[in-house]
Amino acid sequence: MASTQPRATITAVERFLPERILSNKDLEKVVDTSDEWIRERTGIAERRILDGEPTSYMATKVAQGLLRRRGCHADDIDLILVATITPDMVLPATACLVQDQIGASKAWAFDLLAACSGFVYALVTGAQFISSGAHKRVMVIGADKMSAITDPHDRSTCILFGDGAGGVLLEAAEDGSGLIDFEMHADGSGRDDLHVRGGGSAYPATHESVDEGLHFIRQEGRTVFKFAVQRMAEVSLSLLQRNELTAQDLDLFVPHQANRRIIDATANRMVLASEQVMTNIEHVANTTAGTVPIALSEALDEGRLKPGNLVQLTAVGGGLTWGSALLRWGNAA
């Protein structure tokens, strides 16, 4: 994707995780499961739960952290993008609530819904406003309060999800860093494999929809597992090949943190060494749109991201959606 346009680069990264920890041992008291069973099948030991606050609370914490890390003011932000499947409400967008709460009076704002692919989708979308010259600073946040839509008695889902948020600030690159290329996909024929039926115009909220559990997330676990393993590796390798690169050229691969077995299978298919792969699912679980930016933030704090590093972000989610972004790391705070 050769271009004379400026690249959008990440200049700040931030994450927010709620204080309360829900361990596998805690779940043993609610559903028929065990710590050993969960660890073996998912790689998850614990997840964070947000009590008494909505998704916008976490997204706002991330937004404030990005401003603080970058040393800029809320009025310097041109656009706020929030990727989420757990908005505070149907209307208005959670991004608008964040815009108000941080005082970004000059920014416009909207939500993007692509489930676990949400942050990568939003990152690529936000980058277009930078590379086109339309905007100078775009805030991209992935945030989900999955505990709000997870059935606590459904063993197939309650063990997987947690609450959390992460985000980045995008600006025009001046050092050769930034988004190099991307590849995004969707396949709506897989809509029944991972969904929340209730609450939309197809299944409006009623006493019956609540009684039937239509407002909880449901999935065809085996189908989603196979799809994720295939598509994560496929889209990642395709993007690398298009740019005349191999997986061995990567300094860090940051996959969606859905399941440790999915991550390992993807890494094996790509022939990646363990030190090339960022994982934090053990203590964070699957935070949906939050996984990739949270992992990116942790990787930066751990010293695993250096200027000039080649980084790939890949995710798969409900829709079905999947995609990958390739970037050269800059001097992010």
Could you tell me the domains of the chain?
8-175 (3.40.47.10), 179-328 (3.40.47.10)
Listed residue (179, 106, 164) closest to 288, CA to CA: 164
Please, are residues 281 and 43 in contact by the beta-carbon 8 Å criterion?
Answer: yes
Q: What pLDDT is stored for residue 262 in this prediction? A: 93
Residue 193 φ then ψ, to 5°: -75, -25
Asked about 153 being catalytic, the answer comes back as: no
Tokens coding 99: 């815009």
**pLDDT tens digits, residue range 52-78?**
999 999 999 999 999 999 999 999 999
Q: Pick the catalytic residue from 116, 158, 259, 280.
A: 116
Asked about 286 being catalytic, the answer comes back as: yes
Burial 231-254 (b: 16+ CB within 10 A, else e): bbbbbbbebbeeeebebeebbbbb
pLDDT at 194 over 70: yes
Mean of pLDDT values over 206-212: 90
The model's pTM is 0.94
Q: Pick the catalytic residue from 96, 256, 259, 280.
A: 256
Mean of pLDDT values over 275-291: 96
Q: What pLDDT is stored for residue 4 in this prediction? A: 67
Asked about 309 being catalytic, the answer comes back as: no
**pLDDT tens digits, residue range 100-146?**
999 999 999 999 999 999 999 999 999 999 999 999 999 999 999 99
1 CB neighbour count, 10 Å cutoff = 12
Burial 68-101 (b: 16+ CB within 10 A, else e): ebbebebebbbbbbbbbbbbbeeeebbbbbbbeb
Distance CA 111, CA 105 (A): 17
Share of the chain above pLDDT 70, in %: 99
**pLDDT tens digits, residue range 219-257?**
887 888 888 888 999 999 999 999 999 999 999 999 999
**310-317/178-186 β-pairing:** unpaired
Query: Token match 């706002």: residue?
Result: 60
Query: Token match 């992935």: residue?
Result: 142
Please, are residues 98 and 71 in contact by the beta-carbon 8 Å criterion?
Answer: no
Q: Pick the catalytic residue from 24, 259, 280, 286.
A: 286
